[in-house]
Amino acid sequence: MQLTRKGHSGQRTPSRFSSSLSDTLSRALPTMDRRTFLKRSGIGVGAGIAASQLSLIKRANASAAAGDGKGKIEVKRTVCTHCSVGCAVDAVVENGVWVRQEPVFDSPINLGAHCAKGAALREHGHGEYRLKYPMKLVNGKYQRISWDVALKEVSEKLLALRKESGPDSVFFVGSSKHNNEQSQMLRKFVSFFGTNNCDHQARICHSTTVAGVANTWGYGAMTNSYNDMQNAKAALYIGSNAAEAHPVSMLHMLHAKENGTKMIVCDPRFTRTAAKADQYIRFRSGSDVALLFGIAYHIFKNGWEDKKYINDRVYGMDKVREEVMKWTPEKVEEVSGVPEAEVFKAAETMAKNRPSTIVWCMGQTQHTIGNAMVRASCIVQLILGNVGVSGGGTNIFRGHDNVQGATDVGPNPDSLPGYYGLATGAWKHWSTVWGVDYEWVKKQFASQAMMEKSGTTVSRWVDAVLEKNEYIDQDSNVKGVVFWGHAPNSQTRGLDMKKALDKLDLLVVIDPYPSATAAMAAMQVDGQELNPNRAVYLLPAATQFETSGSVTASNRSLQWREKVIEPLFESRTDHMIMYQLAEKLGFGKELVAKIKLVPGKGGMMEPEPESMLEEINRGTWTIGYTGQSPARLKAHMRNMHMFDVKTLKCKGGKDPVTGYDMTGDYFGLPWPCYGTAAIKHPGSPNLYDTSKHVMDGGGNFRANFGVEKDGVNLLAEDGSHSLGAEITTGYPEFDHILLKKLGWWDDLTEAEKKAAEGKNWKTDLSGGIQRVAMKHGCHPFGNAKARAVVWNFPDPVPLHREPLYGTRPDLVAKYPTHDDKKAFWRLPTLYKSVQQKNVENKLYEKFPIILTSGRLVEYEGGGEETRSNPWLAELQQENFVEINPKAASDRGIRNGEYVIVSTPTGARLKVRALVTPRVGPDTAFIPFHFSGWWQGKDMKDAYPEGAMPVVRGEAVNTATTYGYDSVTMMQETKTTICNIERFAA
């Protein structure tokens, strides 16, 4: 079928000349065959359409035909920066200008599909509303300065702070938007500055997941993949609004649904995801443990649990069972509001349609008991024997495009890259990898104690500034903050944050769109004290489209982004800025000791991303970031069509450029991809999957918690092991001793032996231990049981506890929160005292509505980037509060009018009322992507000139309240209280 000819059948009668011209033209233009047509219509998913595609070259010609035909046209393959799905994009660049964006149908992850944000990516190539040059706050107004002045002044001020108050007086807020290479380098940068006071988005995103899940079975990541959800027979979404937050994941789920997968959504709101579900369960925000244990109750009661699996692979289920059986249907209904029949139905669906998977996201993580909620989800899956199974698993949808990677190798306050922790051994390991002297690093710190003590978290930097000095667990308060790719309006307690911002000595914002922080720092709040010596600098960073590097999607696949365009305006890449600042701070050489420098913008030298990735490859053995060499990743990006959509496996084929044979590789080499690139581990599509050989991506639970606990075996039982393992029972993690005991030591080469002596699978830089373990079909990290009881956590068996700010004093009495903590991540942290006071003050009467917050599909995070994108901004022009029609009519509120949402902090947000049954009468919802209004006023004047986003609005986090997870310091954003009243002008 020919689909391309332009018709002339209208009344229009073109002149004979022009008509014959266009006839010739249309004959010359490409036509579409049926296969291409079907692919372009998006039927590729599982419908057995062969994956053939226009080659890149042909594609370039096609776009050349579209342009004026004169310019130099290149197609660069990159990856969307707006969420963890990792959708690939082909950017068409003409003479250095990003002129078009084409879908990548070959991508097994997104098959060309995008959500609004991905479809609007090209705007990054224009960046009209970006910060264009360095600026400095002078007398309340931002003034342009040169890079030289900026770098000089910023480094001088940092050095002065370091000298006067110690390195811990500076807090570095890193970024999950940095690529892996930049993330790792930033952790190194902060270490060389001499502090662990660094953090990034993951803290306020999935920290509870990472801690809870890793402590349950080994790794704190999504176990399977979006693609693998096609294999699920049932899926339970709890606290995930994937249709808005991970829209392209729905491509796989909806396809699965058409093949019979049952979909259940539990959410306080009837979301766009819920609208696609077979069963929707509305429940009270903050009561996930009750609901999940309610489900587990029915599973146990009906004997639906996987007894063999539990016996072979799970530790502590009997204790959990005791707690679960306390959650009788009446109790579940009392706490969560869900009637027995609905809970039963969900339990039955999950049990009778195995493999079934569970999906969670921020609805579970962002609570004072987030760590317990996520473990309750893990427990349900363990009971059903769903973990380590294709179609099952815990599909934990991660947040930012590279939050997975930044968590894995980036600036965490409690760990060096790769979850090595902060103990001496970890420092020595990384010092070797970085090519610096351990003693030199140690000298950079205030002391060895501070070097090995976890830093403050991004959720609490405000308190590290404001708290009385005697209460904090470091010498000086925090006095300088560097925001390196993070928004301010994403952290709770905005009113307090403003106080902290005004108290600082130094604030540096390094960001393509630093304007939210800039405006918040520059605006004046009446009656608030302002540090007269405060210095504020804004440095324009380049986006990820202006550099290259790798990014880790939610499913642990790494993708390589090509550089699309040169850094716009005066912006510089983050790694260039790191290197230049390090030079001024006196550790430039050390920062790039093992890294190749190449000329970057304006001929200035910058670290080479490939070389930076190789450093990650050299050091990150724990989680298998070692096999993903730049060459392998690039080959995958070039040959996406060779990977299967359902399994992500390469069906066979060689990269035409390098000749590298990708047969058997999983797309993007999802970590763990153990050993060196040379041994060609294919990556692990589904974690802990015993049905596959370890060299085919198989696995089992990790032996990370010892071999026994109180006399109970923690290793897997006999017969439980990954396919083809020579050890057919549980075994501990591999080290030089175990290898010798097993008699496998001599499988190492001489060179490997030298490197491996005295080392374990995580610290052997030769990779020999891993190679040999896997050669024998064994998993380098051992073979153990998952822990249903995490004994090192405050609640070893997950317990329901009421939020600090709630509307149910009756339940607080039954399910009170934790006791206050003194020094927790360097800060005193309150629980019971706050909760009790709130009940005594009867806050539930003044603030009778539960306030929750979350996402809109059009905007991302703090929203400064996306609200500066006119294509997106047009779609959501004002912030709003979702309020139930009944709650609205009780208050005389009509749809579309302004209302005031007030919370116990004293904040008063002016937003539009969206009167909708999406929420029940007891709940209200405000999207969190807005900023630029402060307590009803537009802060227009506070923005640096030309860098104000198109749409501004009230930030919900101006009004959010106190409350932090008892393990990770996650902030409580999903459950607080508010009152809503009509706005009287």
Partner 1 sequence: MARMKFICDTERCIECNSCATACKNEHEVPWGVNRRRVVTVNDGVIGQEKTISVACMHCSDAPCMAVCPVDCFYRTDEGVVLHNKDTCIGCGYCSYACPFGAPQFPSNGTFGLRGKMDKCTFCAGGPEENGSKAEFEKYGRNRLAEGKLPLCAEMCSTKALLGGDGDAIADIFRSRVMRRGKGSEVWGWGTAYGKSPNPNATAPAAATAAPASFTEGKK
Partner 2 sequence: QEAAKPAAQPIPAAAPAPAVESVDIMKQNQAERSRDQPGNNAPVWRAVKEGQQHYSSLPAPEAGVLIQAKEQFPGQARATSAGEAWRQYRNGPLTSYGGWLLILAVLGIAAVYLLRGQIKLNAPRTGRLIERFTSLERVTHWTMALSFLALALTGLTMLFGKHVLMPLFGHTLFGWLAYACKNVHNFVGPLFTASVIVFFVMFVRDNLPGKGDLDWLKKLGGARGHASAGRFNAGEKIWFWGGVTVLGLIVSGSGFVLDKIVPNLEYTRALMQYANVIHLVAAVLVFAMSLAHIYIGTIGMEGAYDAMRTGYVDDAWAKEHHDLWYEQIEKGEIPRVRTAEGAKVIQPAKAV
Ligand X SMILES: Nc1nc2c(c(=O)[nH]1)N[C@H]1C(S)=C(S)[C@@H](COP(=O)(O)OP(=O)(O)OC[C@H]3O[C@@H](n4cnc5c(=O)[nH]c(N)nc54)[C@H](O)[C@@H]3O)O[C@H]1N2
Binding positions for ligand X, 213-272, rule CB under 6 A = 238-242, 244-246, 266-269, 271
Which stretch, 334-342, 736-744, 764-772, 871-879, contacts partner 2 (CB under 8 A)?
871-879
What is the closest distance, in whole angstroms, from the C-beta atom of residue 545 to ligand X in the complex?
9
C-alpha triplet 228, 230, 232: angle, nearest 5°:
85
Nearer to ligand SF4, 180 or 622 (CB): 180
Site for ligand X in 96-115 (CB under 6 A): none
How many residues lie near ligand SF4 (CB under 6 A)? 14
| CA pair distance 249, 337, nearest whole angstrom | 29
Q: Which of 139-147, 230-238, 251-259, 937-945 is the region at the interface with partner 1 (rule: CB under 8 A)?
A: 251-259
- Taking CB under 6 A as the rule, does residue 363 contact ligand X? yes
From partner 1, Mo ion, ligand SF4, none, interface partner of 83 (C-beta below 5 to 8 A by class): ligand SF4
- When CB distances to ligand SF4 are compared, the closest residue is 118
What number of CA atoms fall less than 13 Å from residue 682's CA on the CB side? 25
Residues 208-237 interacting with ligand SF4 (rule: CB under 6 A)? none
CB of 856 to Mo ion, least distance (A): 14
Among partner 1, ligand SF4, partner 2, none, the one that 82 touches (CB under a kind-dependent 5 to 8 A) is ligand SF4
CA distance 431 to 439: 9
Q: Which does 80 bind (CB under 5 to 8 A by kind): ligand X, ligand SF4, partner 1, none?
A: ligand SF4
Among 41, 139, 469, 533, binds partner 1 (CB under 8 A): 41
**CA dist 756 to 348, 773, 966, Å?**
50, 13, 38
CB of 735 to ligand SF4, least distance (A): 39
Minimum distance from CB of 256 to ligand SF4 (Å)?
Answer: 16
- For ligand X, which is the closer residue by CB, 114 or 785? 114
| Cα–Cα distance for residue pair 347/360, rounded to 1 Å | 16
Q: Which is nearer to Mo ion, 854 or 904 (CB)?
A: 854
Task: Among 399, 549, 685, 796, indicate the residue that binds Mo ion (CB under 5 A).
Answer: 399
Nearer residue to ligand X within complex by CB, 37 or 569? 569
903 makes contact with ligand X (CB under 6 A)? no
C-alpha distance from residue 816 to each of 326, 832, 960 (Å):
16, 7, 21
Q: In the complex, what is the shortest distance from the CB of residue 235 to partner 1, in angstroms, rounded to a whole number?
A: 15
Q: Does 120 contact Mo ion by CB under 5 A?
A: no
- Binding to ligand X (CB under 6 A) within 150-189 occurs at 175, 177-178
Nearer to partner 2, 278 or 661 (CB): 278
- Cα-Cα-Cα-Cα torsion 838, 841, 845, 850, nearest 10 degrees, comes to -10
Distance CA 511, CA 486 (A): 8
Q: Is 856 in the site for ligand SF4 (CB under 6 A)?
A: no
Where helices occur in 673-826 by DSSP H, the ranges are 736-742, 750-756, 768-775, 809-814
CB of 209 closer than 8 Å to CB of 334:
no
Instruction: Quote the CA–CA distance of 187 and 699 in Å, as a whole number.
Output: 29
Tokens representing residue 522 in the block:
């520059």
Instruction: Spell out, one character per residue from 117 to 136, where the chain touches ligand SF4: x when CB under 6 A holds, - when not.
Output: xx------------------
Task: Tell me the sheet residues that pair with 539.
Answer: 510
What lies within 8 Å, CB to CB, of 457 at 6+ separation is 199, 203, 413, 825, 968, 969
- 897 forms part of the interface with partner 2 (CB under 8 A): no
919 DSSP β-pair partners: 269
Report the residue number, 85 or 296, with the smaller CB distance to ligand SF4. Answer: 85
Reduced to 3 DSSP states, what percent helix, strand and coil does the chain have, rounded to the nearest 5? 35, 15, 45
Task: State the distance between the two ends of the chain, measured CA to CA, in whole angstroms.
Answer: 62
Q: Which two tokens stand for residue 132?
A: 């264009």
Backbone phi and psi for residue 776, each to the nearest 5 degrees, phi listed first: -90, 15
| Whole-angstrom distance, CA of residue 5 vs CA of residue 22 | 9
Q: What is the closest distance, in whole angstroms, from the C-beta atom of residue 124 to partner 1 in the complex?
A: 11
CB of 276 to partner 1, least distance (A): 7
874 touching partner 2, by CB under 8 A: yes
What is the C-alpha separation between 225 and 375, in angstroms, rounded? 19
16 interacts with partner 2 by CB under 8 A: no
Nearest-CA neighbor of 847 among 923, 892, 908, 904? 904
Q: Which does 858 bind (CB under 5 to 8 A by kind): Mo ion, ligand SF4, partner 2, none?
A: partner 2
975, 977, 979, 980: which one binds ligand X (CB under 6 A):
975
Distance, in Å, from the CA atom of 375 to the CA atom of 275, rounded to the nearest integer, reads: 27
In this structure, are residues 593 and 434 in contact, taking their beta carbons and an 8 Å threshold? yes
**Of 165, 261, 404, 444, which lies in the binding site for partner 2, with binding defined by CB under 8 A?**
261
Q: Residue 85: which residues within 8 A CB-CB, separation 6 or more?
A: 109, 110, 226, 246, 247, 248, 249, 553, 554
- Asked whether 620 and 408 are in contact (CB, 8 A), the reply is yes
Which one of ligand SF4, ligand X, partner 1, none interacts with residue 86, CB within 5 to 8 A by kind? ligand SF4
Candidates 95, 524, 792, 877; binder of partner 2 (CB under 8 A) is 877
Q: Quick check: 382 binds partner 1 (CB under 8 A)? A: no
For residues 275-334, which are near ligand X according to CB under 6 A? 285-286, 288
Residue 512 interacts, among partner 1, ligand X, Mo ion, none and using kind-specific CB cut-offs from 5 to 8 Å, with ligand X
Nearest to 849 by CA among 821, 815, 807: 807
Question: Would you list the DSSP string of 121-149?
Answer: GGGGGT-TTS--S-EEEETTEEEE--HHH
Name the minimum Å distance from CB 288 to partner 1.
Answer: 20
Q: Are 193 and 446 in contact (CB under 8 A)?
A: no
- Ranges of beta strands (E only) in 591-653 are 597-599, 605-607
CB 212 within 8 A of CB 379: no
- Comparing CB distances to ligand X, the nearer of 81 and 684 is 81
Q: Does 405 bind Mo ion (CB under 5 A)?
A: no
Return the residue of 206, 262, 634, 867 that touches partner 2, per CB under 8 A: 262
Nearer to ligand SF4, 12 or 70 (CB): 12
Q: Which of residues 406-445 bind partner 2 (CB under 8 A)?
A: none
Q: How many residues does the chain have?
A: 985
| Of 270 and 791, CB closest to partner 1 | 270
Q: How far apart are CA 39 and CA 49, in angstroms?
A: 7
Residue 581 engages partner 1 in binding (rule: CB under 8 A) = no
Tell which positions 498-517 bind ligand X, by CB under 6 A. Answer: 510-513
Q: Answer yes or no: are the C-beta atoms of 576 and 549 closer than 8 Å.
A: no
- Residues of this chain, 758-797, that bind ligand X according to CB under 6 A: none
862 binds ligand X (CB under 6 A): yes
Which regions of 268-375 does DSSP assign to beta strands (E)?
279-281, 314-315, 356-360
The interface with partner 1 within residues 88-117 (CB under 8 A) comprises 100-101, 103, 105, 111-117
Nearer to partner 1, 273 or 817 (CB): 273
Residue with token string 């019979």: 260
Binding site partner of 163, from Mo ion, partner 1, ligand SF4, none, Cβ cut-off 5-8 A by kind: none
Least distance CB 280 / partner 2 (angstroms): 11
Q: Which is nearer to ligand SF4, 124 or 632 (CB)?
A: 124
Among 7, 260, 527, 603, binds partner 2 (CB under 8 A): 260
Q: Cβ contacts of residue 679 below 8 Å, gap of 6+?
A: 627, 767, 771, 774
Q: Interface with ligand SF4 by CB under 6 A: which residues?
A: 80, 82-83, 85-87, 110, 114-115, 117-118, 246-248
What are the residues binding partner 2 (CB under 8 A)? 11-13, 233, 259-262, 858, 874-877, 916
